[in-house]
A and B are shown apart, each in its own frame.
Chain A
Amino acid sequence: MIELHNVSKTFTLHNQGSTEIGVLSDVSLSVAAGECVALVGASGAGKSTLMRMIYGNYLTQAGSIRIGDTEIVGAEPRAVIALRREVLGYVSQFLRVVPRVPTVDVVAEPLRAVGVDADTAKARAEALLSDLNIPESLWSLSPTTFSGGEQQRVNIARGFVHEYPAMLLDEPTASLDAANRDVVLRLIENAKARGAAMIGIFHDEAARARVCDRVVDVSVFTPEQAA
């Protein structure tokens, strides 16, 4: 489902003496449907960078990244947008929303974008919010004022509301208490069971061991410094 071949990434900082920072080189990785792969490596090894490259958020200079039938490297913006709408979900660590929009609409938005009618989308969003223990009294408020953990759960609800065939998870269980962590891990297990291909970053080792089938150490792809 997710196929990476010889992918490399270098950042060029034009305004800081054109410094070139090589982050990743020759990454090859393949994730099948129903499989969850964990990315590990020290801070700065390029785990998040790799995820963002797969999402099309960072530009990939060399190699090939295929999600289903779509090639991300060199894709037209509208092809990437279509892919993100239908196929590829991303749960980031940060919630970025238009201020003033009620939580339930924030969560329902990915479903509305794929053409689900407003009532069905809202019902699904509400079910997820209640699974994730967000009190009903907060659903009509904007999540911008929520606590860190609540925002994280809203973000997760938004990421799981549409059943994407491929998903990227950037520390989905960080800043969650045990009960909510368990809910999130169950969401991941359910997504795997319906055949989603997933790549995740988990600092929580127990969580990683529970949901991930394989571990890939990103630091072996670091240019030069690699042992």
Chain B
Amino acid sequence: MTPLLSARDVTKRYGAHIGCAAVSFDLYPGEVLGIVGESGSGKSTLLNCLAGHLAPDGGEVVFDTRAEGPRDTLQMSEPERRMLGRTDWAFVHQHARDGLRMGVSAGGNVGERLMAVGARHYGDIRGKATDWLERVEIDATRVDDRPTTFSGGMQQRLQIARNLVTGPRLVFMDEPTGGLDVSVQARLLDLLRGLVRDMGLSAIIVTHDLAVVRLLADRLMVMKDGHVVETGLTDQVLDDPQHAYSQLLVSSVLQV
């Protein structure tokens, strides 16, 4: 099986400081990879390098494109990469405001991505947008309301609807449940798990919340100071961590 995404020696420096160093992994279709580590460990830097938001200083990010097979996205032209960002890729930001257009209605936010890939029929776009709002459990009567009138959890779900409406194959998520209270988190996790299974999505999830990765991720990568210190099956890394830092991380979680 061809990996959907292969990272090879992805490196990013901020001057003398290391963002992430020589990170390599393969992500297969339908797989969910969790990246954990404390603040400043380089996990968001890595995610942004993979998603094409930051230019790495070295390495390759090879994506298995629908039309042309595996291609290094870092060598693609900007329009090609942007097209990928609108079709096969999706990016869920930690703060829904970064991923939404706050001055546009909820339906407009979802419909915009459809129009960006060529949808033109108003009725279809509105129908699909309404359908997606319901799938992320936002009442269809709110379709014409702006996201500014939504709660934080609703905004996050709207962001997910906007990202998934075009049927991407790979979703990047940066702390998707960060800043949400636990009941809303649980609802979002349940939703994400269902979507991942039903749509056969692959996802890369960056988070510092180990409970979130246990429920969502198949595989885990533990980062510290820009380096990957341990990788493995999620429950193996969490229940039998091998590296000193992973052991510290796992043992530092407060029991509820």
**A and B interact:** yes
Task: Tell me the A residues contacting B by CB distance below 8 Å.
Answer: 11-15, 52, 56-59, 77-78, 80-81, 96, 98-101, 112-113
| A98 interface neighbour in B186, B219, B232, B234, Cβ under 8 Å | B186
Q: B120 at interface (Cβ–Cβ under 8 A)?
A: no
Kindly list chain A residues whose C-beta atoms are within 8 Å of the C-beta of B236: 56-59, 77, 80
- B240 engages A58 (CB within 8 Å): yes
A77-B233 in contact given A15-B247, A100-B186 (Cβ < 8 Å): yes
- A58 engages B247 (CB within 8 Å): no
Kindly list chain A residues whose C-beta atoms are within 8 Å of the C-beta of B251: 15
Complex Cα–Cα for A35 and B248 (A): 40
CB-nearest residue of chain B relative to A12? B242
Give 8 pairs: A residue, B residue, CB < 8 Å, sorted on A. Answer: A56-B233, A57-B236, A58-B240, A98-B190, A100-B187, A101-B190, A112-B197, A113-B197
- A98 engages B193 (CB within 8 Å): yes
A100-B190 in contact given A57-B235, A59-B232 (Cβ < 8 Å): yes
- A77 engages B186 (CB within 8 Å): no
Kindly list chain B residues whose C-beta atoms are within 8 Å of the C-beta of A11: 240
CB-nearest residue of chain A relative to B216? A98
Task: Tell me the B residues contacting A by CB distance below 8 Å.
Answer: 28, 31, 186-187, 189-190, 193, 197, 214-215, 218-219, 232-236, 239-240, 242-244, 247-248, 251
Kindly list chain B residues whose C-beta atoms are within 8 Å of the C-beta of A59: 232, 236, 240, 242
Kindly list chain A residues whose C-beta atoms are within 8 Å of the C-beta of B243: 14
Kindly list chain A residues whose C-beta atoms are within 8 Å of the C-beta of B190: 98-101
Kindly list chain A residues whose C-beta atoms are within 8 Å of the C-beta of B233: 56-57, 77, 80-81
Shortest CB distance B145–A (Å): 25
- B187 engages A58 (CB within 8 Å): no
Complex Cα–Cα for A78 and B247 (A): 23
Complex Cα–Cα for A11 and B239 (A): 11
CB-nearest residue of chain B relative to A59? B240
Kindly list chain B residues whose C-beta atoms are within 8 Å of the C-beta of A12: 242
Kindly list chain A residues whose C-beta atoms are within 8 Å of the C-beta of B247: 13-15
A57-B186 in contact given A15-B251, A78-B218, A112-B197 (Cβ < 8 Å): no
CB-nearest residue of chain A relative to B219? A77
Q: What 7 A-B pairs have minimum CB-CB distances, sorted nearest first?
A: A14-B244, A99-B186, A77-B233, A58-B240, A77-B219, A98-B190, A100-B190
Shortest CB distance A125–B (Å): 16
- B187 engages A81 (CB within 8 Å): no
Kindly list chain B residues whose C-beta atoms are within 8 Å of the C-beta of A52: 239-240
Shortest CB distance A110–B (Å): 12
CB-nearest residue of chain A relative to B185? A99
Complex Cα–Cα for A52 and B234 (A): 14
CB-nearest residue of chain B relative to A96? B214
A57-B189 in contact given A98-B215, A112-B197 (Cβ < 8 Å): no
- B232 engages A81 (CB within 8 Å): no
Kindly list chain A residues whose C-beta atoms are within 8 Å of the C-beta of B232: 59, 77
Complex Cα–Cα for A98 and B217 (A): 13
Kindly list chain B residues whose C-beta atoms are within 8 Å of the C-beta of A80: 233, 236
Shortest CB distance B209–A (Å): 14
- A57 engages B239 (CB within 8 Å): yes
Complex Cα–Cα for A77 and B214 (A): 14
Complex Cα–Cα for A113 and B251 (A): 31
Complex Cα–Cα for A11 and B247 (A): 11
CB-nearest residue of chain A relative to B1? A78
Chain A CB within 10 A, most for which of B31, B193, B219, B240: B240
Shortest CB distance A159–B (Å): 16
- A57 engages B218 (CB within 8 Å): no
Shortest CB distance A11–B (Å): 8
- A78 engages B31 (CB within 8 Å): yes
* With A11-B240, A113-B197 already in contact, 5 other A-B pairs whose C-beta atoms are closer than 8 Å: A12-B242, A96-B214, A98-B189, A98-B215, A99-B186
Shortest CB distance A103–B (Å): 14
Shortest CB distance A1–B (Å): 21
Kindly list chain B residues whose C-beta atoms are within 8 Å of the C-beta of A78: 28, 31, 218-219
Kindly list chain B residues whose C-beta atoms are within 8 Å of the C-beta of A101: 190
Complex Cα–Cα for A56 and B239 (A): 11
Shortest CB distance B38–A (Å): 15
Shortest CB distance A171–B (Å): 18
- B239 engages A58 (CB within 8 Å): yes
Complex Cα–Cα for A11 and B190 (A): 34
- B218 engages A81 (CB within 8 Å): yes
Shortest CB distance B223–A (Å): 17
